[in-house]
Amino acid sequence: MSKQIKSYFFAFLSIILWSTVATAFKFALEKYDFIQVLFISSATATIALFIINIYQSNLKSLNNSNKKEIVKSILLGILNPFIYYLILFKAYDLLPAQMAQSLNYIWPIVLVILTSIVYKYKLNLKTYLSLLFGFIGVIIISFKGKFNISADISIIGLLLATGSSIIWASFWVINSKIELINEIKLLFSVFTGFILISIALLLFSEFPKYETKAFFSAIYSGLFEMSITFILWNKALELTSRTEKISNIIFLSPFISLLFINFFLNEKILLSTYVGLFVIIIGIFIDKIKNPFKN
């Protein structure tokens, strides 16, 4: 089997796993509050990443690592998973799964904006069109294709789901500038998040009681949203001959996720959700189109 075929395998496996987590979130939130879900998920992710780093012998590299980079990675855990997942899980608690996951998916467009600010380059017409399509898509999903938000839809939930994309994009912009092994960076940030989430649990919630479906759904989220799937995706990136060969595959994730949501949660997927999500994806693709007249 060639490296590129292996790359496609790991990429598709990552997408399938990421597509299931919206459903897992909702299952966990049936019995636990969003802090309890995040406590179980972050604990699971920390253990999983610790085992992975031991297996890969990554911890030895810390002896030669820049201590400032380690501190940056640890502090980054405040942003993700602590703030990001608290916001995201609360959004899932307040909104139908199809809305929360679709609105969160504007993060690639937000990433373009933040990257342009950090690296100080001007946005071109394609990017502005991309942003416009992303904004229109969010409006379509939020308003259910109508001109007024339904009374049964939480405004706070809409703001949290959309705002989570800003946190997520910010995390990856900052994370890309930290010079450590990816698995090590992820372990440090997740562990920091777990400590902060544990404090939040003591202050604002209570230790979760065992509820079979909710408990294992939270564990599943920790494994396949916060830890293992990132390792699989990085493996796909390492094996591919060109990043763009697999990068567009990630756009399948929200659509596959809607299938899981419909089948397992029995949520009727609204036409406006499909349309809005499709418009967002078009916006993301517009920014990726190369200028045929430019060498």
- Mean pLDDT, rounded, for 126-138: 82
In a domain, 66, yes or no: yes
In a domain, 166, yes or no: yes
In a domain, 295, yes or no: no
What spatial distance separates the first Cα and last Cα of the chain, rounded to whole Å? 34
pLDDT over 60 at 99, yes or no = yes
Query: Tell me, what's the pLDDT at 287?
Result: 67
In a domain, 294, yes or no: no
- Pairwise pLDDT comparison (285 vs 79), residue with the higher score: 79
Q: Work out the angle between the directed axes of helices 228-239 and 182-204 (0-180°, nearest 10).
A: 160
Give 171-224 pLDDT, tens digit per residue: 988 988 899 998 999 999 999 999 999 999 999 999 999 999 999 999 999 999
Share of the chain above pLDDT 70, in %: 92
Give residue 221's domain range: 3-288
Which pTM value belongs to this model?
0.87
Provide the pLDDT confidence category of residue 150 given band limits of 50, 70 and 90.
Answer: low
In a domain, 293, yes or no: no
Q: Show Cβ contacts of residue 45 under 8 Å, excluding neighbours closer than 6 positions.
A: 81, 190, 194, 222, 223, 225, 226, 227
Specify the number of domains making up the chain. 1
Mean pLDDT, all residues of the chain: 87
In a domain, 217, yes or no: yes
In a domain, 52, yes or no: yes
Query: Tell me, what's the pLDDT at 293?
Result: 39
In a domain, 152, yes or no: yes
Here the tokens at position 161 are 């789901």
- Mean pLDDT, rounded, for 156-168: 92
